[in-house]
Structure 1
Amino acid sequence: MRAAAFCERYGLAVPILLAPMAGSTPPALAAAVANGGGMGALGALNTQPEGIAEWASAFRARSNGAFQANLWIPDPPPVRDAAREAAMAEFLGRFGPRPAVPEGPLLPDFAAQCRAIIEAGPAVISSIMGVFPPDVVAAAKARGIAWFACATTLAEAREAVAAGADAIVAQGSEAGGHRGAFDQAAADTQQTGSLALIPRFADALDVPVIATGGIGDARGIAAALTLGASAVQIGTGYLRCPEAGLHPAWSAAIADAEPEGTALTRMFSGRLGRGIANAVTRADAPPAAAYPVQRALFAPVRAAAEKAGNADAMQMWAGQAARLAAAEPAGALTARLWDEAQALLP
């Protein structure tokens, strides 16, 4: 009943959402999930305002379904540490081209991005790492756009609900990619798994809970709904779909990954995130630079590794259920997962 009500509210046939993975949600993948009955997604963190409009247009050329547009809530400008950045640049030079210390703006203008995602007219805007400013929430709701907020603790979830969130995405520690902690310094200690997080949120909150983290097949979907979620959000589980266009080495690593083969690291961006462990994450490295400086430092190493197909120095985000990811078209996968999940539910 929870899932049915959620689907009716957001115009879905199945209670499955594509996770808004920045850099890994091309319009073709999002549209395929939407055409399979779920909700597509744009991870707009690195996307300029004009790119957001272009993405929405490309999505709508492929689908009449719903999508969410996601942004990170920005931290204050990073405190630069020249010595730390130089040490990291020297370390990264062991794995690829020695990066230059970045200067100038490292992120798109957040206020302009907020205006752009609202103008794009998605069914949902979503946030991670905090809550949208009141004016953004008001502007979205004036246009009938809902707000989903990612949270890793009940305190974060309650803060988001108080700020006007229409649903909470409960991010368990199994999730791939970046941890959604509002305070990045606390991300290392906010590691509650989905089995504990979902029922606590469901019991304590008056808005729908969307479960994410460690969900890769029908068993995970059925478990999340049984624990009190109204829908699930899947990221890594879609990365091997052909529409994702993932680098072959990354896709192969996902197919072979054991749960213990992923690790939490700040190497790729300066923010804590879960990816497949490789030589660059296992090395004895100096402390990472602040986000997003670390991301800019790692970018040339990542690019060179991708060009060479060198998985030892690639950025390969993945959750602990990575091995469950199926290499099949995203629309068919979405429909199959829900059919199989229904068979497991009362």
Structure 2
Amino acid sequence: MSTWPDTRILDLLGIQLPIIQAPMAGATGPAMVIAASAAGALGSMPAAALSLEQLRAALTTIRQGSTRPLNVNFFCHQPPPADAERDRQWKNLLEPYYRELGADFDAPTPVSNRAPFNIGACEVVEEFRPEVVSFHFGLPEKSLLDRVKATGAKVLSTATTVEEAIWLEQRGCDAIIAMGYEAGGHRGMFLTEDLSSQIGTLALVPQIVDAVSVPVIAAGGIADARGIVAAFALGASAVQIGTAYLFTPEAKVTPSHHHALRNTQASDTALTNLFTGRPARGIINRVMRELGPINLSAPAFPLSGGALMPLKAKDEAGFSNLWSGQALRLCKDLSTYEFTRTLAVQALEQLKRT
């Protein structure tokens, strides 16, 4: 394709298009990663919801199906200390739903977990040597980060504030993902828990661009060519797109999630901590409406989802996380490959006219 106005990310990551397919835990599998990579974008495999054996199997499939650069994404949270009293209060709050739906309230509560980056995960990186390793919720401890960088991988991480971006650059990130308030899924915030600190993509990207020397990747509210053009105008070198890829046949979404994405207004999303204990943007459903999207009773990340699992099994639409960003009404039903290529062609055409 024709030359993009800023090729720093293309040169840094060895990709053809300044587009990163977002690593969406649960919804992204090898098929999406391979298709996005084939189209020239950076395919991204999420690891947080996978065991090490599952991750190895996924990466083996991807390496067999693609020779293009690969991004593997990890969470960097610290597992919370046990808090039996908070867990009990949370389940008690949900008891009326258990009774209504016929779920067994007295059965042991299922475990909801997300694996943080650790020695085992680092060994998988050393084994498969992905060209890019990205992190959410900050960065791992220095010894592990040094081992990742020693493989030759370029390191990306998410910033939701200027302060986080500066922190990431100072600790060796090769590029910063500037995640605006509009983005779906978990907020990447890690220096603060104050949601009032979170700002939109339009304001966040240029401030981070001005504050750091490494390339910046815009994320949040970008689902069509206009969003890419705007990101370049703000000083970004690339975009990361998530919600739009949930509309592709390669996305592993439940029937309820599939229906909600196509029948929900853009105003019907909210940040919620109910499903994991950490703020994440999703489509408003019954439990979010009735308990409030942010509820201080929810156990710390990633534990709150356990007590919701029996309810989700009875009423998936009302009690499961339906992650989505605010740009969902811009999304189209296209294959991952077709969407990525169409997006790039249209963006270049618009850039020529600017």
Give the structure-1-normalised TM-score.
0.92
Task: Check the 8 A contact 2:125/2:148 in 1, yes or no.
Answer: no
What is the match of residue 164 of structure 1?
172
Q: Which amino acid aligns with 1:321?
A: A
Change (3 A) 1:92 1:58: farther
Matched, 1:235 2:242: yes
Moved more, 248-257 or 62-71: 248-257
How many residue pairs get aligned? The number is 341
Indicate conservation of the 8 Å contact 2:76/2:140, yes or no.
yes
Q: Which residue of 2 aligns with 1:75?
A: 78
Counterpart for residue 121 of structure 2: 113
Shift of 1:26: 0.5
- Identical aligned residues as a percent: 36
Tell me: CA distance 1:204–1:96, structure 2 relative to 1, closer, same or farther (3 Å). farther
Identify unmatched segments of 5+ residues in structure 2: none
- 1:176 shift after superposition: 0.4
- 1:9 aligned partner: 12
Measure, in 2, the Cα distance between the counterparts of 1:324 and 1:15: 19
Secondary structure class of the residue paired with 2:74: strand
Aligned to 1:123, which of 128, 131, 136? Answer: 131
SS at match of 1:264: strand
Match of 2:318 in 1: 312
| 2:39 aligned residue | 36
- The counterpart of 2:255, out of the listed 248, 251, 255, is 248
> Which residue number corresponds to residue 148 of structure 1?
156
Q: Is the 8 A contact 1:225 1:231 kept in 2?
A: yes
Partner residue, 2:90: 85
Q: 1:91–1:341: structure 2 CA closer, same or farther, 3 Å change rule?
A: farther
Cα RMSD, aligned residues only:
2.1
| Alignment-derived partner of residue 335 in structure 2 | 329
Q: CA deviation at 1:207?
A: 0.3
Partner residue of 2:281 out of 258, 274, 277: 274
Residue 178 of structure 1, CA deviation = 0.7
Aligned to 1:127, the other structure's residue is in SS state strand
Which of 27, 32, 42 is equivalent to 2:30?
27
Alpha carbons of structure 1 residues 221 and 199: separation in structure 2 relative to 1, 3 Å: same
Are the aligned partners of 1:151 and 1:170 in contact in 2 as well (CA < 8 Å)?
Answer: yes
Cα 1:98/1:40, change in 2 over 3 Å: farther
Conserved 8 A contact 1:88-1:289: no
* Equivalent residue number for residue 258 of structure 1: 265
Q: CA deviation at 1:65?
A: 1.5
Higher mean Cα deviation, 332-341 or 81-90?
A: 81-90
Query: How many angstroms does 1:313 deviate by?
Result: 2.8
Q: Would you say the 8 A contact 1:172–1:191 is kept in 2?
A: yes
Q: Which residue, 171, 176, 179 being the options, matches 2:184?
A: 176
Q: Is the 8 A contact 2:80 2:301 kept in 1?
A: no
Q: Structure 1 counterpart of 2:14, which letter?
A: G
Tell me if 1:340 matches 2:346: yes
Q: Please, which moves more after superposition, 154-163 or 276-285?
A: 276-285
- Give the 3-state SS of the residue equivalent to 2:323 in structure 1: coil
C-alpha distance in structure 2 between counterparts of 1:293 and 1:53, whole Å = 25
Q: Distance in 2 between matches of 1:7 and 1:204?
A: 21
1:289 aligned residue: 299
Amino acid corresponding to residue 328 of structure 2 in structure 1: A
Aligned residue in 1 for 2:58: 55
Q: Distance in 2 between matches of 1:190 and 1:249?
A: 32
